[in-house]
Structure 1
Amino acid sequence: MSDFNCRMYEKKYPEENELVMVTVTSVGEMGVYVSLLEYNNIEGMILLSEISRRRIRSLTKLVRVGRQEVVVVVRVDKEKGYIDLSKRRVTPEEITKCEERYNKSKAVHSIIRHLATRLTMDEKVIKPKQLYKQFGWALYTKYQHAYDAFRLSISEPAVFEGFDISPDQLKVLMEIISHKLKPQPMKIRADLEMTCFDYEGIDAIKAAVLASQNHAIQFAQKNAEGQIDDKSFGVVTVTLIAPPLYVMVGTFDDKEKGLAMLSKCVEILGEELEKRKGRLTVKIPARAVGASDDQELDDLMEQLERENELVDGDNSDEDEDEN
Structure 2
Amino acid sequence: MTTTHPLFQITAIPNSGLGAVATAPITRGTLLISEAALFLLTADFLTTAAANAGIAAKLRTLSPPQLHAFLALTNAHTADTTHPFAGIVRTNALPCGVDAVECGVFLTCSRFNHSCNPNANYCWNEKTRQEVVHAVKDIAAGEQISVSYLDEEATNYPRAQRQQRLKKDFGFECRCSVCSGDAAAVAASDGRRSEVGRLDALVGGGRLMMGSPQKALGCCKRMLALLGEEGIQDVSLYRTYYDAFQICVAHGDLARAAVLARLGVAVKVACHGSEAVEDELWTYIRSPEKHRLASMSRRWATKVGDAKEIGSEGFEEWLWARAR
TM-score by length of 1: 0.23
TM-score by length of 2: 0.23
Which of the pair has more CA radius of gyration? 1
Kindly indicate whether structure 1 or structure 2 has the higher relative contact order, using CA contacts under 8 Å at least 6 residues apart.
2
